[in-house]
Amino acid sequence: MTTRTLQDHLDGWAGSDPLRRDVATTVLALANAGRSLAELLSAGPLAGAMAQVRGYHTDGDSQKELDVVADEMVRDALRAAPVALLGSEEMEEPIELNPAGTLAVAVDPLDGSSNIDTNLSVGTIFTVLPHIGADALLQPGSQQLAAGFLLYGPQVALALTLGMGTHLFVLDRPFGQFRLIEAEAQVPAETSEYAINSSNARHWDRAVRSYVEDCLTGSEGPRDRDFNTRWVASMVADAYRILVRGGIYLYPGDARRGYGQGRLRLVYEANPIAFLMEQAQGAATDGLQRILDIVPESLHQRVPLVFGSRGEVERVSRYNQSASNMPERSPLFGRRGLLRA
């Protein structure tokens, strides 16, 4: 199959508009970094001990060798792009790159770090914002000019939005080019597949517990149909599956120390995913509020995240709004439900 290349797609979208041309150059630079990173990942342990812990972020998250290598690759690729400010999960503070640049970029250079040495999919997430000054990365997600992620799986894929739909590309390795495989990704409004790390069930609040309990009781519960669980522990892989066939992903806040706002970062994880989902007719909230409306207070701020099929995301919001929106629990599962606090 020979279809449109990413370069052609971006050129067609940008035309002679200067800001769009800058966005196109930047997205291409990120795609090139992803191509190199995919090459490195495909060598696995032959490329070195990539899962080795190198250090820790200030909030205690570990930083692995590949996190650092991916961060350097993205930074190097963006040096020639019109990017004035770059923020990264792997850098405490944003750095200035190109003083004449019109754009600000934030990245999660490697999403799914716990999967590095397991030969499962990992990825790179990015957001592109207008450079409006030193606080450019603290604009709400609704201001994003472009966002997306690269997924390093059996296929090297790119999910991209430029604010006019969500497009999926796959790397045509022999040609070194990303090619369009889906011009208008559509997340079905309804789904019977959910993704959450259930090992945290005892720490969840009532709304999340009720939502998952309703899925678990399946055709014998208030949902009247059976649900299926999927959890890759690489958000990009869960997000790609949801873009392809629907589903819901939840990483809520929970009662563990340091997890009150969940695990995901607003600026370079939740915002790009939310933009992609909305542009594919899906939805993304913090359990209640639209992610893209939240004004970030800091680059590494965490946010509870629920995204995917609109009907399910809205159901979670209804449960969070009021307990009266939750269906009656079946006595079969006891007063406190199947998942006990």
Long-range contacts of range 324-333, CB-CB < 8 Å, 24 or more positions apart? 326/206, 326/207, 326/210, 327/210, 327/214, 327/221, 327/222, 328/222, 329/210, 329/213, 330/217, 330/220, 330/221, 332/220, 333/213, 333/217
Confirm or reject binding of residue 89 to Mg ion (CB under 5 A).
Answer: yes
Report the side by side order of strands in the sheet with 193-195.
Answer: 228-229, 193-195, 248-251, 305-308, 283-285
Q: Which amino acid type is present at position 297? A: E
Query: For the purposes of burial, counting CB atoms within 10 Å of the CB of 301, is it exposed (0-12), middle (13-18) or buried (19 or more)?
Result: middle
Instruction: Answer yes or no: 297 catalytic.
Output: no
Confirm or reject binding of residue 111 to Mg ion (CB under 5 A).
Answer: yes
Residue 191 binds: one of Mg ion, ligand FBP, none (C-beta under 5 to 8 A by kind): none
Q: Do the annotations mark residue 182 as ligand-binding?
A: no
Min dist CB 57 to ligand FBP, Å, is: 9
Chain residue whose CB lies nearest ligand FBP: 235
From CA 301, how far away is CA 89, in angstroms rounded?
A: 10
Q: Which candidate, 149, 117, 114, 131, places its Cα nearest to that of 34? A: 149
Confirm if 238 and 277 have CB atoms less than 8 A apart: no
CB count within 10 Å of CB 340 equals 10
Confirm or reject binding of residue 286 to Mg ion (CB under 5 A).
Answer: no
Among 42, 114, 118, 289, binds ligand FBP (CB under 6 A): 114
Q: Of 89, 214, 286, 312, which one is the catalytic site residue?
A: 89
Return the residues of window 77-106 that contact ligand FBP according to CB under 6 A: 89
Confirm or reject binding of residue 235 to ligand FBP (CB under 6 A).
Answer: yes
Instruction: Answer yes or no: 8 catalytic.
Output: no
Choose between 107 and 187: whose C-beta lies nearer to ligand FBP.
107
Instruction: Answer yes or no: 76 catalytic.
Output: no
Q: Do the annotations mark residue 93 as ligand-binding?
A: no
Among 71, 90, 111, 214, binds ligand FBP (CB under 6 A): 111
Confirm or reject binding of residue 234 to ligand FBP (CB under 6 A).
Answer: yes
Chain residue whose CB lies nearest Mg ion: 111
One-character DSSP codes across 255-299:
SSTT-TT-S-BIIIIIHHHHHHHHHTT-EEESSSSBGGG---SST
C-alpha 307: how far from chain center = 9
From CA 266, how far away is CA 196, in angstroms rounded?
A: 18
CA quadruple 234, 235, 239, 245: dihedral sign: positive
CB-based contacts of 61, cutoff 8 Å, min separation 6: none
Instruction: Answer yes or no: 89 catalytic.
Output: yes
Confirm or reject binding of residue 298 to ligand FBP (CB under 6 A).
Answer: no
Per-residue x/- track, 317-336, ligand FBP (CB under 6 A): --------------------
Min dist CB 263 to ligand FBP, Å, is: 5
Residue 167 binds: one of ligand FBP, Mg ion, none (C-beta under 5 to 8 A by kind): none
Q: Of 111, 213, 214, 238, which one is the catalytic site residue?
A: 111
Q: Of 39, 61, 135, 184, which one is the catalytic site residue?
A: 61
Instruction: Answer yes or no: 67 catalytic.
Output: yes
Catalytic (active-site) positions: 61, 67, 89-90, 108, 110-111, 269
**Residues near ligand FBP, by CB under 6 A:** 61, 89, 108, 111-114, 197, 233-235, 263
Residue positions forming the annotated binding site for Mg(2+): 89, 108, 110-111, 269
Residue positions forming the annotated binding site: 89, 108, 110-114, 197, 249-251, 269
**Residues near Mg ion, by CB under 5 A:** 89, 108, 110-111
